[in-house]
Homo-oligomer: A and B are copies of this chain.
Amino acid sequence: MTEICIRDCHALVPNEQGGLGVARHQDILIQDNRIAALRPTGEPLASGVTVVEGQRMLALPGLINTHAHVASVLFRGLAEDVSLERWFNDFIWPLETHLTPEDVYWGAQLGLIEMIEAGVTTVADHSVFMDEVARAVEAAGTRARLGWSAFSSGGYAALAETAAFAERWKGGAGGRISTCMAPFSPYTCDDGLLRACVGHATRLGVGIHLHAAEEMNQTLASVSRRDRTPIQVLQDMGVLSVPTLIAHGCGLLPQDVELLARHRAHVGIAHAPKQALKLALGVAPLRALRKSGVPVGLATGTASGNTLELFESLRLMAMLQKHDALDPEVLPIPEALDIATRGSASALGLGTELGVLAPGALADIVLVDTRGTHWHPQHDLTAGLVYGARASDVHTVLVNGRVLLRDRQLLTLDKERVLAEVVGRMERLARRVPESRPRRYKP
């Protein structure tokens, strides 16, 4: 039985050539938590169907943020225009010494609200105090892949606790939460810890989410110190043999891309172009990765990029690739949209469930309002989406067949309360304690 009908929207759907295009004036029928059908509007609806009006809206699959530290939005504005080294050593790690589970609970809600308001329905979060993040996701109604960051400095007992989290929340929130092991990176985790993560992941039937080859300096340091690139380290420790999501990849060498290609069935890259630009990390080789069939997904990073907005990441990604290639024909609109939808879902190993508006897919759907001045004239809705859309255009958001945002109003979390809680924590959170820094960035 159809339960919800999004009536008379334009829908971003796969076309016959395998690309993505806009089907105009469609009804999207939703049954339970899945899309039951898409069809031209106008057919009568069964009684009892809840209608969501979609006129002049562009329906997209819910956006997927493939890499973020959601609660770190608490720190945005505190570490601006600094090097990656200072970012970690003088700001973020010293700042994090204050972080309490309660801070993370409210910070995660803040980030989740920002994302829902911007059409982001799934996030892969790699942080600490992840039970709080999971509780926030449960309350927000969104979908998440959650991993608790592990470092060699924490030792194996702490690692076991991160595995216990992964076990505890696997399939949580009615299946909306999946989990993973989250070694921070090859430069903060030694070989033993990486192997142990693979062991836990295999035992629990989950994957791994980590940072690697974030910039070329890391790669060069790894080669100099371990005689292998970070990706080769991952290969040797068995990480690439389990489903793995690798954040950033601006330091990938051609041989790394080859190595990743061999594991492309279950290994993907999370690309955060705003972070890459702002921290001057360089350019991820997206064309080579795509050519090799390695899934690439879109991401925001977090406090370093200041926002959790994927529309911005989408056009930054497309433009940065053109700039870097000195060729404006590189990464054209259809490919950018493919990365932002099907690519992101594939990078999370959810390519059959998310990232597409098609019968059988999970009903995570965003309605983008195209009535704004900046959308006119509408010669090409996909151009508007990639190069002009704003988070504020997001009008309605459904996850798992449930409406979370309607007419820009959030229906789940208590936004006023969350903002007030965050404001109340600011002063303490802004205090840095460099001498109590838990570790040092030195790739």
- Point out the residues of chain B lying under 8 angstroms from A332, CB to CB: 80-81
Chain A's interface size range is 35 or more
Question: Copy number of this protein in the oligomer?
Answer: 2
* Candidates B75, B78, B327, B387; contact of A306 at CB < 8 Å: B387
**Are A319 and B84 in touch, CB under 8 angstroms?**
no
The interface-forming segment of A121-129, A197-205, A370-378 is A370-378
B322:A110 contact, CB within 8 angstroms: no
Q: Are A329 and B82 in contact, with the CB atoms below 8 A? A: yes
The answer to whether the Cβ of A422 comes within 8 Å of any Cβ in the partner chain is yes
Contact A419-B376, Cβ < 8 Å, known A77-B383, A332-B81, A390-B391: yes
Query: Which of B280, B320, B323, B388 contacts A325 (CB under 8 A)?
Result: B280
Task: Decide: A384 and B306 in contact? CB cutoff 8 A.
Answer: yes
**CB < 8 Å: which of B74, B373, B387 contacts A113?**
B373
Q: Is the interface of A mostly helix, strand, loop or mixed?
A: helix
A291 within 8 A of B: no
Hey, which chain B residues are within 8 Å of A430, CB to CB?
Answer: 379
| A87→B328 CA distance, assembly (Å) | 10
Interface flag for A279 (CB, 8 Å): yes
Binary CB contact string for chain A from 27 to 69 against chain B (1 if under 8 A, 0 otherwise): 0000000000000000000000000000000000000000000
Kindly report which residue of chain B lies nearest to residue A87, judged by CB atoms. Answer: B328
A278-292 residues at the B interface, CB under 8 angstroms: 278-280, 282
Which chain B residue lies CB-closest to A331? B81
Check B374 against A307 for contact (C-beta < 8 Å).
Answer: yes
Contact with B along A272-302 (1 / 0, CB 8 A): 0010111110100000000000000000000
Q: Among B326, B333, B373, B429, which residue has its beta carbon within 8 angstroms of that of A114? A: B373
Is the CB of A223 closer than 8 A to any CB of chain B?
no
Residues of B within 8 Å of A276, CB to CB, are 323
Interface pair A423/B377, CB less than 8 Å apart: yes
Q: Which residues of B contact A423 (CB under 8 A)?
A: 376-378
A322 touches B280 (CB 8 A): yes
* Extra inter-chain contacts (20) besides given A76-B388, A274-B319, CB under 8 Å: A73-B376, A76-B379, A77-B379, A77-B380, A81-B331, A110-B377, A276-B323, A277-B319, A277-B323, A279-B322, A280-B322, A280-B330, A282-B326, A305-B387, A306-B383, A307-B388, A373-B415, A374-B391, A376-B422, A392-B392
- Determine if A167 is an interface residue (Cβ-Cβ < 8 Å): no
Q: Is the CB of A80 within 8 A of B377?
A: no
Tell me, yes or no, whether A117 is within 8 Å of chain B by CB: yes
Residues of A within 8 A of B (CB): 73-78, 80-84, 87, 110, 113-114, 117, 274, 276-280, 282, 305-309, 318-320, 322-323, 325-333, 373-374, 376-380, 383-384, 387-388, 390-392, 415, 419, 422-423, 425-426, 429-430
Q: Can you list 13 residue pairs at the A/B interface with Cβ under 8 Å?
A: A76-B384, A77-B383, A77-B384, A81-B322, A278-B322, A279-B322, A280-B328, A280-B330, A282-B326, A376-B422, A378-B426, A379-B430, A392-B392
A325 to B376, CA, bound (A): 36
Residues of B with C-beta under 8 A to A383: 76-77, 80, 306
* A301, chain B: closest CB distance, angstroms: 12
On whether the beta carbons of B322 and A277 are closer than 8 Å, the reply is: yes
Using Cβ atoms and an 8 Å threshold, which residues of chain B touch A322?
Answer: 81, 277-280
